[in-house]
Amino acid sequence: MGAFLAPFARADERLPGPSPAPVMKTAHESAAMPNADAMREAENVLRELKAGNKRFRAGRARHPHMTVARIRETARGQHPFAVVLSCADSRVPPEIFLDQGIGDLFTVRVAGNVANTDEIASVEYAVEHLSTPLCVVVGHTRCGAVTAVVNGDKVSAEIAHLVQHIGEAVEKTRKHKPALEGSQLIEESVRVNVWESIEDLTRGSETIAGRVHQGRLKVVGAVYNVETGAVDWMGTNSGALSILR
């Protein structure tokens, strides 16, 4: 972690004076960071998350930042280096499969990793007030929410509202790849649903769209495999971000 941590000053070094910064209200110095540096930071963060998943899969997880000292350090202010939007599924905990610890990831979890108003606002908070340089939207294989939509299962009005965006993803998948069915249709819909959420994030927040447009925020898609523990990094879909052009 040594080399990786270099771009991220210790929390107490960022603070202007001895008084502790309130949690969730710290001004992040990289807010004024030149765009090229912000993108380099985003690439460093992405590299570390990829390395973390490799460690996890290989049984060599380091479980970083889990100490009492880390709790005390982060109590003075949080500086997460990535915001992660992922499914609430119990098999898909981002801190564990990316081998990160306390204060590292600003995590938003909701069934089907959809981006409705609350999720968009949460991601926007991390991006704007914590100047997080990287946003990862993570879907996963065998997702119950996506499966329910593909199968047309009867659900309550609340769940129907929750999964409305997944319906759009499944529709797009059926339209573009009509030959797919069963588990193949579900797995492809999971991927399309990730792009759908990225599109909803940028379409639903001027702040998020603005930061991407200015080169101050990188948004990438990924799918976690619940059978192998591996993350399939999908990169940035220019189509999903077409609204910015």
Interacting residues with Zn ion (CB under 5 A): 87, 89, 143
Q: Which residues, other chains included, contact 14 with Cβ-Cβ below 8 Å and sequence gap of 6+?
A: 26, 28, 29, 77, 79
CB of 187 to Zn ion, least distance (A): 12
- Identity of the residue, 89 or 196, whose beta carbon is nearer to Zn ion in the bound complex: 89
CB-wise, 39 or 111, nearer to Zn ion?
111
The span from the first CA to the last CA of the chain, in angstroms, equals: 37
Match 């925020």 to its residue by tokens: 217
Query: Minimum distance between the CB of residue 240 and Zn ion, rounded to whole angstroms?
Result: 19
Minimum distance between the CB of residue 140 and Zn ion, rounded to whole angstroms?
6
174 in Cβ contact with 186 (< 8 Å): no
CA–CA distance, 188 with 190 (Å, rounded to integer): 5
Closer to Zn ion by Cβ: residue 5 or 111 = 111
Outline where the chain has alpha helix (H): 2-5, 11-14, 35-57, 68-75, 94-97, 117-129, 144-151, 157-162, 164-176, 182-204, 206-213
Angle at CA 104, nearest 5°, toward 111 and 113? 15
- Residue of 66, 79, 95, 88 whose CA lies nearest to 31: 79
CB of 141 to Zn ion, least distance (A): 9
Identity of the residue, 27 or 226, whose beta carbon is nearer to Zn ion in the bound complex: 226
Question: Smallest gap, in angstroms, from Cβ of residue 150 to Zn ion?
Answer: 12
Q: Report the residue number, 78 or 113, with the smaller CB distance to Zn ion.
A: 113
